[in-house]
Structure 1
Amino acid sequence: MDMAAVNSNRVVKTTLLISTYNWPEALHLCLLSVSRQSVLPDEVIIADDGSTIETYDLIESLRKTFPVPLIHVWQADEGFQLAKIRNKAIARATQDYIIQVDGDLILHKHFIEDHLELSKPGTFMTGSRVLMNKRLSEKTIQTGKLVFHPIQDGLKNKFNVLRIKILRKYFSKRYHISDFMKLRGCNMAFWREDLIRVNGYNEDFYGWGREDNDIALRLMHAGIAKQVLKFGGIAFHLHHILNSSNVSKSNEKCLVQTIRTKQYRCNNGIDQYLKLIPL
């Protein structure tokens, strides 16, 4: 059975959106894991927040043999502008359902399949990740081995490695579904029409943090229910040195504004790009 068929047996067409910045070695592994999915996305869009020529060259070399269209959306490096580059990539998307990951993730071979199994109108999805330590990450980059098991050395939060269908369905509507702070922007999925309704990401969020919480909250304000993907949609996060994880005061204020006003549509969002790209 094709897991891309849900409820009414309508095949869900998917865009996989991958955010990246100046780590082509990780992006290479991410894209290899995409090419080996049990259910392929219909297109892949790289949302590139200012990477140098090495990332461009990687994408060009893979494009020739990649199993689905591989699209590179780039913007100049002018600081951390994740909300902006995601909006530009979403505007380019041609499919109904957008699955969003970061380019430092290696996706389990059933990652897309698991997301599609729970996809349904009127919801968005939040998943989790499995942390890899430095040693395992470096070894994986060297060897290109993309298969991991729950008891593997070098994996943290191993609970997230388990793939159990019956529990996946049970927890999808029960696990932190009303908490907009409990999510990982590196593993989310949305209907494109819902993203356009709330005007996409709020580009007033500049620098690290809270843009994912904000869009989740605004979707919930618009009546789009949060679902949680546990025991599936498994993604392995390559270790790297973290930049400062202190959320800027400006971003915190933006989120407080959304909480206070209960608004669902932001002003500085995706509509500025949709004017240039036909829907």
Structure 2
Amino acid sequence: MPETLKCSLVTPTYNWPEALELLLSSIKQQVVLPDEVIIADDGSKSETKALIDKFSDNFPVPLIHIWHEDKGNRKPRIMNKAIAAAQFPYIVEIDGDIIMHKNFIKDHLKFAKEGYYLYGSRANIQQSHLVNLFSQQQTNFNYFSKGIKKRGRTIHMPFLTQFYKPVSERSRKLRGCNMSFWRQDFIKVNGFNENLVGWGIDDSEMIQRLHNIGIKGKRLKFAGIAYHIFHHEQSKSHIEINQAIEDQTTKLKIKRCEVGVDQFL
């Protein structure tokens, strides 16, 4: 894919400005910058807005804050609003608790190809390292860094990425914290499904609909490296409802969700 491809980096956040600060710092260190950064804020308090305002003063690209009122977990809705507002044809999605390798955006753009989406993995920053992480504002890691779990995922060798064949079925290795796709494909399937409730499944259910319209996935192994900051798991009280929706999407090859991004376009 030519380096002239323009992308919007979109990240959800909710009341964790300390993690968002490290993410924003890692964006500033990118070898290839995104063309804009959109923060999809699911109802955070004023501390998050103050942090974004502070970064906006000298951020290298437009930093856009899209917020809605806190009415429980409504991540699909705020992500739809954010991607509806995106100005560029390619969307890179990460979570708000991710620190990116300096080549993260470069890797996603390098392997972007029409008819495909990309999905990467994450190395985990362990709970025992959090005090040092935040006190030192650490944004650079490698295979030998302290506090890292799943070190094999820190190896950056994009030459090897090309040997991973595209897949026609959704992979169990898919993680919404590290993926990218074409905005027009996202709109074709009507974006994230707002009938999903609470935490979980929203990314994989949307990706299943991409497969249902013939889009294939490519794994970014040895590229698109992300470091995930430890946090306790969110409530999975509604996971069975969401799983049932995803199972129907897969079984019936549903291509569009009923309540999605079209309401914001």
| Equivalent runs, 1:57-136 vs 2, <5 Å | 57-136=50-129
Residue in structure 1 matching 2:261, options 264, 270, 278 = 270
Aligned-pair distance for 1:135? 2.4
Contact 1:98–1:191 (Cα < 8 Å) also in 2: yes
Aligned equivalents of 1:247, 1:125: Cα separation in 2:
27
Residue in structure 1 matching 2:177, options 176, 186, 195 = 186
List per-residue Cα deviations over 1:29-83 (Å, max 9, x = no partner).
Answer: 1000001100000000000011000000100111010000000011111111111
Aligned equivalents of 1:127, 1:246: Cα separation in 2:
27
TM-score by length of 2: 0.96
TM-score by length of 1: 0.92
Contact 2:119–2:179 (Cα < 8 Å) also in 1: yes
Contact 1:73–1:88 (Cα < 8 Å) also in 2: yes
Give unpaired runs (5+ residues) of structure 2.
none
139-148 or 67-76, larger mean C-alpha shift = 139-148
- SS of 1:99's partner is strand
Query: What is residue 232 of structure 1 aligned with on the other side?
Result: 223
List per-residue Cα deviations over 1:167-219 (Å, max 9, x = no partner).
Answer: 11112x25x66234331011110100000011001111111111111111100
Matched, 1:218 2:186: no
Query: What is residue 194 of structure 2 aligned with on the other side?
Result: 203
Aligned equivalents of 1:51, 1:43: Cα separation in 2:
21
Contact 2:123–2:148 (Cα < 8 Å) also in 1: yes
Aligned-pair distance for 1:22? 0.3
Contact 1:33–1:107 (Cα < 8 Å) also in 2: yes
Aligned-pair distance for 1:166? 2.0
Aligned equivalents of 2:49, 2:145: Cα separation in 1:
33
Aligned equivalents of 2:77, 2:110: Cα separation in 1:
29
11-20 or 133-142, larger mean C-alpha shift = 133-142
Query: What is residue 3 of structure 1 aligned with on the other side?
Result: none
List per-residue Cα deviations over 1:112-150 (Å, max 9, x = no partner).
Answer: 001111001111111111101112222111111211110
Amino acid of the residue matched to residue 128 of structure 2?
A: R
Aligned equivalents of 1:177, 1:34: Cα separation in 2:
31
Contact 1:15–1:45 (Cα < 8 Å) also in 2: yes
Amino acid of the residue matched to residue 222 of structure 2?
A: F
- SS of 2:263's partner is helix
Aligned-pair distance for 1:249? 2.2
Amino acid of the residue matched to residue 26 of structure 1?
A: A
Superposition RMSD in Å = 1.3
Aligned equivalents of 2:130, 2:228: Cα separation in 1:
8
Aligned equivalents of 2:76, 2:114: Cα separation in 1:
24
Query: What is residue 158 of structure 1 aligned with on the other side?
Result: 151
Amino acid of the residue matched to residue 237 of structure 1?
A: H
Contact 2:10–2:82 (Cα < 8 Å) also in 1: yes
Aligned-pair distance for 1:247? 5.0
Contact 1:177–1:228 (Cα < 8 Å) also in 2: no
Contact 1:180–1:217 (Cα < 8 Å) also in 2: no
Aligned equivalents of 1:182, 1:247: Cα separation in 2:
22
Contact 2:80–2:260 (Cα < 8 Å) also in 1: yes
Aligned equivalents of 2:172, 2:66: Cα separation in 1:
28
After superposition, the Cα gap between the structure-2 partners of 1:253 and 1:14, relative to the gap in structure 1 and judged at 3 Å, is same
Amino acid of the residue matched to residue 253 of structure 2?
A: K
